[in-house]
Structure 1
């Protein structure tokens, strides 16, 4: 498969993951809640693994350490600013509110935040792929494992905002279309865009999401058994991405 076809296929796959929220209409809420934390733990490990084992080495192979560190810090800080300015927290639990109107602003901010997040992801992951295809595929896999629990949580927010299931799925899909947009921008301007800085910028995003949003969620386990299970899923995510080293 050509590089162009791989990028298009990966972008389409990432976009379609936005439809995974429909699972919450089938599974009982209690069972869905049980499934979410292991998925979040797996996503935390895979995002850290994608950044540490693949994106950082590729970025630093073309930049001096101080230059690379600046781009990582910029990517990390950008998501902090995004969350602070939009009051958007990357939570993966099914959130509820007393009235739909109380959550409506949150739902709109979730969609806006996800759109920006997907755009940056498309730019960074495609840039990684253009520098080194195996590393790009590993970064894409890490993003997929993160998107599944995120989309389940976001879908719950939209439903509790009073949106109909079909409407919620449509807008989740629209916010996901920015991923292929970012991918196409990176591919179209691959000869002029600074690919290594984009890779490290996206790595900073991965590190922020894992450390600030995902790990705190899995740390608050109610029992030792749940804590051990979450730790196991987290380590599995790390090991999975470490084993993908090329």
Structure 2
């Protein structure tokens, strides 16, 4: 049991490190990142929506018969938060009118990363091999998650240094935090509860990708946006295949 704790902690910390590397890389090449933000949005939308439909949603539905309700709750919950940010922050302060484009994806990705930490706790408790297989699949999407979280925060008007901190806290630190929070209660996190949490995060990710990222990207009519979207779908398929 003690070995599984330390292995899960190391694996979740590795995921956070990969995400942080993505944030550092895009911060280091800021000008290039700004020029290609539209492509990153399309790529991220492809990853988030495809991974949700191909893996997270079917998995959660097989684990919990009430998962469709949690899926709807995740989708509508993020929509309501978006309305709140738009009404009480963006409209009242014109200088912050684009805050929602950064804050909403940050919240959705943060929720998903937190639940990733739960998954590390559970899989390494089952067996070390199961944990390693889960780690392989999840680490693949951590690098682009860090990039897109940072870029969208900056796009939303957040200062670059603050965007680095917020992106790290939301997309990177939440994974080992989720592992540490969930590990003492691992026996209480049964199949039904994990299915509900997965479905909740899937609803949030679908909202971020389909209603937040893609419409923004389509407004800018970049030539290779469909290629970037297809690249995101392809990466999601690789992630799903690695978890099969």
Q: TM-score, normalised by structure 2?
A: 0.70
Aligned to 2:85: 86
Contact (CA 8 Å) 1:14, 1:144: kept in 2 or not?
yes
Higher helix share: 2
Q: Does the C-alpha gap of structure 1 residues 139 and 214 become closer, same or farther in structure 2, counting only changes over 3 Å? A: farther
Aligned equivalents of 2:217, 2:75: Cα separation in 1: 20
Aligned to 2:187: 191
Contact (CA 8 Å) 2:64, 2:195: kept in 1 or not?
yes
1:54-133 equivalences in 2 (<5 Å):
54-64=55-65, 67-87=66-86, 103=95, 116-117=107-108, 119-129=110-120, 130=122, 133=131
Contact (CA 8 Å) 2:23, 2:168: kept in 1 or not?
yes
Aligned to 1:41: 42
RMSD across aligned C-alpha pairs, in angstroms?
3.5
Aligned to 1:169: 164
Q: Does the C-alpha gap of structure 1 residues 233 and 122 become closer, same or farther in structure 2, counting only changes over 3 Å? A: closer
Aligned length: 221
Contact (CA 8 Å) 1:120, 1:182: kept in 2 or not?
no
Once the two structures are TM-superposed, the CA of residue 172 in structure 1 deviates from its matched residue by 4.5
Contact (CA 8 Å) 1:47, 1:142: kept in 2 or not?
no
Once the two structures are TM-superposed, the CA of residue 23 in structure 1 deviates from its matched residue by 2.9
1:56-88 deviation line (CA, Å, top 9, x unaligned): 233223222xx1111111111221122111229
Once the two structures are TM-superposed, the CA of residue 151 in structure 1 deviates from its matched residue by 0.5
Aligned to 2:154: 155
- Residue 197 of structure 1 aligns to a residue whose secondary structure is helix
Aligned equivalents of 2:29, 2:95: Cα separation in 1: 18
Aligned to 2:234: 236
1:64-122 deviation line (CA, Å, top 9, x unaligned): 2xx1111111111221122111229xxxxxxxxxxxx8536966x78876764454223
